[in-house]
Amino acid sequence: MNVYEERRKKINAWMTEEGITMVMFQHTEDQRDPGIRWITGFPGDGLLFLSSVSLCGSLLIPWDMNLAFIFSDVESLIPYNDFERKPIIALKAALEFFNISAGSKIEIPPVTPYPIFLEYLEAIADFDVLCRNNGVHAEIQTLRAIKDAEEIEIYRHIAGITNELIDLLEKNAKAGKLKTEGAAALFIEAECRKRGCEGVGFETLAAGPLRSYGIHPFPAYTMGDFATKGLSILDFGVSCFGYTSDVTLTFAKEPLTKPQERMLTLTERAYRSALSQVQSGIPTKDIAAGVDRLFSNAKKKMPHALGHGIGLEAHEFPMIRNRKDNNWILKPGMIFTLEPGLYDMAHGGCRLENDILLTENGAETLTNARIIRL
Amino acid sequence: MNVYEERRKKINAWMTEEGITMVMFQHTEDQRDPGIRWITGFPGDGLLFLSSVSLCGSLLIPWDMNLAFIFSDVESLIPYNDFERKPIIALKAALEFFNISAGSKIEIPPVTPYPIFLEYLEAIADFDVLCRNNGVHAEIQTLRAIKDAEEIEIYRHIAGITNELIDLLEKNAKAGKLKTEGAAALFIEAECRKRGCEGVGFETLAAGPLRSYGIHPFPAYTMGDFATKGLSILDFGVSCFGYTSDVTLTFAKEPLTKPQERMLTLTERAYRSALSQVQSGIPTKDIAAGVDRLFSNAKKKMPHALGHGIGLEAHEFPMIRNRKDNNWILKPGMIFTLEPGLYDMAHGGCRLENDILLTENGAETLTNARIIRL
């Protein structure tokens, strides 16, 4: 049984327990769900239907059949074009395909817009349509938060490439070969692909001293100065098999102002403090609250979360943030970022972000991002 | 009155006519709406509330205040962090901010997921919450389909840069300097930014002869062969002020097989046929149906739409497709693509895509994409 079959088996068991007969997944331009890739390996646009009636109940309805022949592990394939690329028509066809009896529970994506939900209710009025935040889709996101052996192996590979690029970026910056935001970002674009990556995991954010005040600079990168006097931020990830790393380097070029030095010191301290708290059983909220307290004692405020899980999405579970509704507890197999940062309109910003794997033996820092002094 | 104030005035008039007191827009990681940029100039994440009670009723709630100070044209700003970055809390605060009376009609985004919609209903039970496909948000998408003078000027600028890149790409390919998909994609990444673009409008799709069978290759580009014997597709757009171009070149390197020659000839014929139909008052469905007929007579089938509007999104209104529910009629001010293409597992694929502006005087082809024979 391959990894996709194993995952479908788990989902099938959960569906059976919950009495769900068929579930629908949608990965299209207006509604993204990398869960389809997790379940079948297929990275393209389309719909996926799983039926709990049989263990072979998987039907992929891809936009691009040519791509699906090559990339998908699934029992059945029908072109999306056969249904005018309309989810509602495909849904009705899937019910017929699996021969689902009237009255059965059919679960649709929890992100289904309310007006579309009403259309579904009308179109398949004979069925019990579920659209909820605690259904199959949420269960899959929870399963995805704990990486399996295959995923951890992929992450060790991605981290290796990421670390190679970090070292080269430091070397190039020190040699004066990284003088624009574009030079840094394009270097990553080219070098990750040379190493067999699918690409960057998200648009590289490169902000020279004039733009590092922003959490996420806009535009993501320009041809403006980078790694010149002051603080520059470089936030990037590289992706293999759909999984992305996510790290942030800060380049600090002397002479620095006192407030800049203080931001760097505090950020490094916050990072070490957070990392020292990482262990199985710890609520992630407590780690984030500790960092917020550390900054607050220094009369500073971090305007974003401390971190987040990574995987097929750059941001996924577990949450690592100081918010009342965050009930995530660290468990072995989780891979997540820690990324304290501070931002100032006058002095610029800094952030330090690494990817952490929690194993049975404790935290393992997969990546080597750091504050690089020039 | 600047362009953003003009747009808000139009929306305000529409809201007043429809009796909508406040409308909410959301542009966050899980729910994208470039409408906020169209209304305020702000390109970052956040929420926007417009009230029809006063002409100055615009409240932006950005994630990154530093970015908002620089980029937004809006009456009021409150940090999203003040509301735990939770739309529901911000929505309640906006109702208080504008002092909206109970019972008023409040419109929320039509893409609001059903479970979230239920939460809103409960949280602001005293108000009449609207979530519909034919409300303010749809009206704005319709307004955006007809570009104003300022937008047309931006498009002439973007088209100029796009055409410069097309010529350079042809020159480089002919000089043997475009030998990998990555070489083509990275050239565009760098050169568009050198010319002041925000970046590419979407991930560049570069597919050499081995991968051009896919409508959208996966991954978008690799370091594999490009513009070598057979058919290679290069689909890209460059973006300024948020607006993107969208063109596709096919590189055809001899010797070609007969089926390849035939695909090229048919695609060029389909493109010319479509362009010749473009005029004010024509249903776009008719143009797309004509191309489908042309291919069908040649025993071929195009697996995607003929084209689409472009603007702040790579795909926006008007639709240019042969589908029953497509009722779009061409009008002056519309900017859209025409992009016939054919794909074959054995012989590869080809597509020809240009951006067309419909003026009072007829079709104006803004871009010079073409099939380039090598």
Residue B55 is predicted with a pLDDT of: 61
Cβ within 8 Å, pair A199-B218:
no
Q: Is the pLDDT of residue B1 over 80?
A: no
Q: Does an H or E element contain B47, and which?
A: strand B46-51
Residue A299 DSSP code:
T
pLDDT at B221 over 70: yes
Structure tokens at A210: 């004039």
| Strands across the sheet containing A362-365 | A316-320, A307-309, A335-338, A354-359, A362-365
Residue A116: φ, ψ to 5°? -70, -40
Residues B116 and B152 placed together within one structural domain of the fold: no
- In this structure, the answer to whether residues A111 and A224 fall within a common structural domain is no
Last residue of a domain, one of A100, A124, A143: A143
Compute the average pLDDT of residues B335-362: 97
**Residue at B212: amino acid letter:** S
By Cβ distance, the residue of B30, B186, B214 closest to A66 is B214
Provide the token pair at A135: 């259904």
- Tell whether omega for the bond before B113 is within 30 degrees of 0, i.e. cis: no
E strand or H helix that includes residue A200? strand A199-200
Q: What is the DSSP letter of B82?
A: G
* pLDDT score for B113: 97
The overall average pLDDT reported for chain B is 96
The pLDDT value recorded for residue A142 is 96
Strands (E) in A87-143, as ranges, are 105-107, 128-130
Q: How far is B132 from chain A (nearest CA, A)?
A: 6
Distance from CA of A343 to the nearest CA of B (A): 9
Cα distance from B288 to chain A (closest Cα, Å)?
A: 14
* CB spacing of A199 vs B203 below 8 angstroms: yes
Count of helices and strands (H, E) across chain A: 10, 20
CB B75 within 8 A of CB B97: no
Task: Tell if the CB–CB gap between A115 and B115 is shorter than 8 Å.
Answer: no
The predicted structure's pLDDT at residue A55: 61
Check whether residue A129 and residue A150 sit in a common domain: no
How many CA within 13 A on the CB side of residue A81?
13
Q: Are residues B176 and B259 in the same domain?
A: yes
Least confident of A141-150, B61-70, B125-134, B199-208: B61-70
How much of chain B, in percent, has pLDDT values that exceed 90?
A: 96
Cβ-based neighbour number of residue A164 at 10 Å: 15
Closest residue to B222, CB basis, from A65, A193, A213: A193
Question: A173 and A71 in one domain?
Answer: no
Which chain A residue has the Cα nearest residue B242? A219
Residue that has been written with the tokens 């791509």 in this structure: A67
- Name the residue type at position B204: T
pLDDT of residue A66: 86
Residues 6+ apart with CB under 8 A from A126: A102, A103
**A42, A114, A194, A218: which to substitute to probe chain B, counting the most B Cβ within 10 Å?**
A114
User: Which residue in B88, B114, B188 has the most chain A C-beta atoms within 10 A of its own C-beta, making it the best mutation to test that interface?
Assistant: B114
Task: Give the domain extent around B51.
Answer: 3-143
Contact A193, A199 (CB under 8 A): yes
B chain contacts of residue A110, beta-carbon cutoff 8 Å: 113-115
Closest-CA residue of chain A to B67: A214
Distance between B148 CA and the closest CA of chain A, angstroms = 24
Residues in chain A: 374
Helices A87-97/A114-123 angle, 10° precision: 40
| Helices then strands, each counted (H, E), chain B | 10, 20
Same domain, residue pair B108 and B244 = no
Shared domain check, B263 and B202: yes
B188 and B217 in a single domain? The answer is yes
CATH number of the domain bearing residue B332: 3.90.230.10
Q: What is the pLDDT of residue A163?
A: 98
Q: Is the peptide bond before A255 cis (omega within 30 degrees of 0)?
A: yes
CA atoms within 13 A on the CB side of A8: 29
Q: Which of B110, B143, B176 is the endpoint of a domain?
A: B143
Inter-residue contact B70 to A210 (CB < 8 Å): no
Q: What local confidence, expressed as pLDDT, does residue B285 receive? A: 98
Instruction: Please tell me the distance in Å from B84's CA to the nearest CA on chain A.
Output: 8
Write out chain B residues lying below 8 Å of A112, CB-based: 113-114
Start-to-end Cα distance in chain B: 52
Per-residue confidence of chain A (374 residues) as pLDDT tens digits? 799 999 999 999 999 999 999 999 999 988 999 999 999 999 999 999 999 987 669 999 999 998 899 999 999 999 999 999 999 999 999 999 999 999 999 999 999 999 999 999 999 999 999 999 999 999 999 999 999 999 999 999 999 999 999 999 999 999 999 999 999 999 999 999 999 999 999 999 999 999 999 888 999 999 999 999 999 999 999 999 999 999 999 999 999 999 999 999 999 999 999 999 999 999 999 999 999 999 999 999 999 999 999 999 999 999 999 999 999 999 999 999 999 999 999 999 999 999 999 999 999 999 999 999 99
Residues in chain B, how many? 374
- Interchain pair B214, A113: CB under 8 A: no
Q: Which two tokens stand for residue B368?
A: 């010079």
Residue A113: closest C-alpha in chain B: B113
pLDDT in tens, B146-183: 999 999 999 999 999 999 999 999 999 999 999 999 99
Cβ <8 Å between A71 and B43:
no
In chain A the first and final C-alpha atoms are separated, in Å, by: 52
- Average confidence (pLDDT) over B242-250: 98
pTM equals 0.94
Give me the torsion for CA of B93, B96, B100, B103, rounded to 10°. 70
Residues 6+ apart with CB under 8 A from B165: B187, B188, B191, B192, B236, B238
Domain boundary among A92, A109, A143: A143
Helix, strand, coil percentages (3-state) for chain A, rounded to 5, are 35, 25, 40
Same structural domain for residues B94 and B139?
yes
Q: Which residues of A touch B110 (CB under 8 A)?
A: 113-115
Dist CA B176 CA B185 (whole Å): 15
* Judgement on whether residues A100 and A247 belong to the same structural domain of the protein: no
Are A198 and A341 found together in one domain?
Answer: yes
For the question of an ipTM over 0.90, the answer is yes
Q: Does residue B54 carry a pLDDT above 80?
A: no
Average pLDDT value for residue range B251-278: 98
In this prediction, residues B227-254 reach a mean pLDDT of 98
Cis peptide, bond prior to residue A318, ω within 30 of zero: yes
Provide the CATH number for the domain around residue B25: 3.40.350.10
| B78 contact partners, CB below 8 Å, separation of at least 6 | B59, B60, B61, B93, B97
pLDDT of residue A204: 97
Number of domains into which chain B is organized: 2
If asked whether residues A119 and A166 sit together in one domain, one would say no
Rounded to whole angstroms, the Cα distance separating A204 from A226 reads 14
In the prediction, which pLDDT does A149 show? 95
- Which residue has tokens 């290796």? A160
More confident residue, A56 or B5: B5
d(CA B140, CA B15) in angstroms, rounded, equals: 11
